[in-house]
Amino acid sequence: MEWFKKFMEDRTGVDHLSLALLIVSILLFLVGKLFGWEFFAWLALVPLVLCYYRALSKNKLKRHQENILFLKYWYPIQSKWINQYRAFKAKRQYKYFKCKECGQQLRVPRKKGKIEITCPKCRHTFIKKT
Ligand SMILES: [Zn+2]
């Protein structure tokens, strides 16, 4: 492993962008296999070669700048996905009701049986199955 360490010493290595390229490559390959599109298996080589090129590149500054640019666009997408996932999870954990008096949306935990719910806004109470 010593030679490999020495070999990689002044090279970029795998960063976020290279990892993303690798994932894109794998996805293209799998989609190609799944649908029998031979072309996609060849297309998958493009991001794979780019991934290797970047990881083995000695121009660290340029690769770093590319990675920063990638992250600038990637992070908003990533946080949007995380938020959607959290919303999805919350939807499964909670049940939502609307207060009949004031229209306030109320969130209660699921699977608690029949419970009395008090609207925090107008103090109206009602019984619901969760
Ligand atoms: Zn209310």
Q: What is the pLDDT of residues 22-35, one digit of tens each?
A: 999 999 999 999 99
Q: What is the pLDDT of residue 70?
A: 97
Q: Residues 6 or more apart from 1 whose CB is under 8 A from it? A: none
C-alpha distances (whole Å) from 17 to each of 21, 53, 90 are 6, 12, 31
Q: Kindly tell me if the per-residue pLDDT of 90 is higher than 90.
A: no
The tens digit of pLDDT for each residue in 41-89 reads: 899 999 999 999 999 999 999 999 999 999 999 999 999 999 999 989 8
Percent of the chain exceeding pLDDT 90 equals 81
Question: What is the distance in A from the centroid of ligand 1 to the CA of 102?
Answer: 4
DSSP symbol at 13: -
Question: What is the distance in A from the centroid of ligand 1 to the CA of 125?
Answer: 8
Distance CA 97, CA 49 (A): 53
Q: Kindly tell me if the per-residue pLDDT of 130 is higher than 90.
A: no
Task: Give 66-113 as a DSSP string.
Answer: HHHHHHHHHHHHHHHHHHHHHHHHHHHHEEEEE-TTT--EEEEESS--
Q: What is the mean pLDDT of residues 108-117?
A: 92
Confidence of residue 1 (pLDDT cuts 50, 70, 90): confident
Averaged confidence pLDDT in the chain: 93
Question: What is the distance in A from the centroid of ligand 1 to the CA of 100?
Answer: 7
Q: What is the mean pLDDT of residues 87-115?
A: 91
The closest of 74, 53, 75 to 63, measured between CA atoms, is 53
Q: Kindly tell me if the per-residue pLDDT of 115 is higher than 90.
A: yes
Question: What is the distance in A from the centroid of ligand 1 to the CA of 109?
Answer: 18
Q: Residues 6 or more apart from 114 whose CB is under 8 A from it? A: 127, 128, 129, 130
Q: Within 10 Å of residue 21's Cβ, how many Cβ atoms?
A: 22
Residue type at 116? E
